[in-house]
């Protein structure tokens, strides 16, 4: 017979192994850094202008960043900072190189969600974030998954749980409870006596109320990508939140992250991308509630289709359930029921020559119609082999692998991103 003690023993054993592997594969000096991009990439893939035109323009104006020449001597290589500086200063054929952004609006928020593990959520989130940054956007990622794949992939492996979505939620509970108590106190003056809600000192004494909005946001190796990271200890959020709801049943727990993001300056970021955990719970409900657009990645197999179907069923029920908060909420602060500006299904790990995959794609289109994206993300060895911590195709130097494999993988992610950007821009225009 096996009790929790046996499970704890197994875990301890596994942790020892994990520690040993980490020591072998990670050293603090091995911090993630972003590579430079060649003039070929900057011209054809990033700005989408003729390479020799760009070279000519850069040569004509020595005050523009000139990149670095590497050993092989033929090309110049530019950092993302340099690329962004060129983007701001150069017009090609009278066209700005800046990406479109509706004026005066806050950042657009997209959740990559599905409760199937291995659906490709983190891979999609990582690639869309990198593609958007290369496109000139300022990106914030929010990692809602305590497995922290996205945080690790972005180089954050040493995160305190108070600086995760869990911290954001606990801080929100404190702020919301204080606000409710203040209104109750006002009500008491006018004669009605309502009890004050008390939170235990274990929550109020953590100092979370003193954290500023930006304390939760960490830089990454990409200069225009920040992240609100996660860590294994944040798994605790699912237990803690149940207790918090009990302490203050009127607390709209699902809106904590949305309220948090509302406190960021409108122009601090352009796109906010959420990587979701493989379950419906407090964290994933916060993610979908804060999202303007929902992207649902799914593998191309029958079981994945099955579990995507049950995901949308459960999500629908969970969202319907929130309607009961409608009474307690002050008018104008949030709108219920939750409405997404767009919902899309995105096939991942797709093999165009695999008959079964093509059949599943037809089935998806038959059922979900125009909600299925036109461009699936192809299965690629480039991503598969990038190791325990994902590196995106954008981070991998094309000289380090077969050029054709790199090109093909990049083209697949580029097409999916272009479609994602189009969908976000349409949703963005409709934002209030
Ligand atoms: N397009 C792809 N080609 C090859 N492997 C992929 C692709 N997308 C995801 N994978 C692999 O599948 C596994 C699960 O992907 P991941 O993005 O972590 O899924 P999730 O976040 O949904 O759990 C990872 O090992 C990843 O490297
Ligand atoms: Mg993941």
Domain with CATH 1.10.1660 in the chain: 32-98
Indicate whether residue 412 lines ligand 1 (CB < 6 A): no
Indicate whether residue 249 lines ligand 1 (CB < 6 A): no
d(CA 170, CA 233): 14
Distance of CA 53 to the CA centre of its chain: 35
Among 48, 3, 19, CA closest to 417? 48
Q: Which residues are bridge partners to 76 per DSSP? A: 69
> What is the pLDDT confidence band of residue 368, given thresholds at 50, 70 and 90?
very high
d(CA 216, CA 228): 6
Indicate whether residue 393 lines ligand 1 (CB < 6 A): no
Its pTM stands at 0.92
Cα(187) to centroid of ligand 1, in Å? 53
C-alpha neighbours within 13 Å on the C-beta side of residue 420: 32
Each residue's pLDDT tens digit, 274-325: 999 998 899 999 999 999 999 999 999 999 999 999 999 999 999 999 887 8
Cα(118) to centroid of ligand 1, in Å? 6
| Mean pLDDT, rounded, for 126-155 | 96
Q: Which ligand has the minimum distance to the alpha carbon of residue 144? A: 2
What average pLDDT does the structure give for the chain?
A: 90
Which of 113, 114, 117, 120, when mutated, tests ligand 1's pocket best, judged by the most ligand atoms within 8 Å of its CB? 120
SS3 299: coil
Domain with CATH 3.40.50.300 in the chain: 108-429
| Mean pLDDT, rounded, for 157-166 | 90
CATH topology of domain 108-429: Rossmann fold (3.40.50)
Each residue's pLDDT tens digit, 208-239: 988 999 999 999 999 999 999 999 888 878 88
Per-state percent for the chain, helix, strand, coil, to nearest 5 = 50, 10, 40
d(CA 242, CA 232): 18
Instruction: Enumerate residues 6+ apart whose C-beta is below 8 A from 408.
Output: 378, 380
Instruction: Enumerate residues 6+ apart whose C-beta is below 8 A from 16.
Output: none
Instruction: Enumerate residues 6+ apart whose C-beta is below 8 A from 123.
Output: 348, 377, 383, 390
Domain 32-98, CATH: 1.10.1660
d(CA 221, CA 225): 8
Indicate whether residue 380 lines ligand 1 (CB < 6 A): yes
């Amino acid at each position: 017979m096996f009790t929790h003690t046996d499970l704890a023993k197994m875990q301890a054993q596994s942790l020892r192994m994990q520690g040993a592997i980490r020591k072998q594969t990670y050293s603090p000096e091995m911090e993630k850094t972003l590579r430079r991009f060649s003039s070929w990439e900057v011209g054809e893939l990033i700005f989408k202008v003729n390479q020799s035109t760009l070279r000519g323009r850069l040569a004509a104006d020595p005050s523009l960043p000139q990149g670095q020449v590497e050993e092989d001597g033929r090309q110049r290589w530019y950092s993302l900072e340099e690329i962004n500086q060129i983007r701001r200063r150069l017009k090609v054929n009278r066209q700005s190189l800046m990406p479109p952004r509706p004026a005066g609006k806050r950042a657009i928020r997209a959740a990559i969600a599905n409760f199937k593990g291995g659906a490709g959520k983190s891979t999609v989130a990582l690639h869309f974030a990198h593609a958007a940054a290369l496109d000139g956007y300022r990106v914030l990622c929010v990692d809602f998954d305590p497995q922290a794949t996205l945080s690790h992939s972005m180089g954050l492996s040493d995160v305190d749980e108070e600086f995760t979505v869990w911290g954001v939620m606990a801080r929100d509970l404190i702020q919301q409870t204080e606000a409710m108590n203040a209104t109750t106190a006002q009500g008491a003056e006018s004669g009605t006596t309502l009890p004050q809600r008390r939170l235990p000192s274990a929550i109020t004494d953590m100092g979370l109320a003193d954290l500023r909005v930006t304390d939760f946001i960490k830089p990454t190796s990409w200069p225009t990508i920040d992240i609100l990271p996660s860590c294994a200890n944040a798994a605790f959020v699912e237990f803690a939140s149940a207790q918090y709801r009990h302490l203050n049943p009127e607390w709209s727990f699902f809106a904590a992250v949305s309220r948090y993001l509302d406190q960021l300056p409108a122009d601090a970021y352009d796109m906010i991308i959420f990587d979701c955990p493989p379950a419906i719970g407090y964290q994933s409900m916060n993610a979908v509630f804060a999202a303007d657009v929902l992207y649902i990645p799914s593998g191309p197999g029958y079981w994945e289709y099955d579990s995507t179907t049950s995901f949308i069923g459960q999500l629908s029920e969970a969202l319907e359930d929130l309607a009961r908060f409608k009474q307690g909420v002050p008018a104008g602060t949030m709108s219920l029921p939750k409405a997404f500006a767009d919902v899309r299904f995105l096939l991942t790990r797709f093999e165009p020559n695999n008959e079964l995959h093509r059949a599943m794609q037809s089935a998806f289109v038959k059922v979900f119609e125009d909600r299925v994206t036109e461009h699936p993300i192809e299965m690629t060895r480039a991503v598969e082999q990038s190791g325990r911590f994902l590196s995106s195709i954008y981070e991998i130097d094309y000289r380090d692998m077969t050029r054709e494999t790199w090109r093909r993988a990049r083209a697949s992610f580029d097409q999916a991103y272009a479609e994602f950007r189009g969908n976000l821009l349409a949703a963005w225009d409709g934002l209030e």
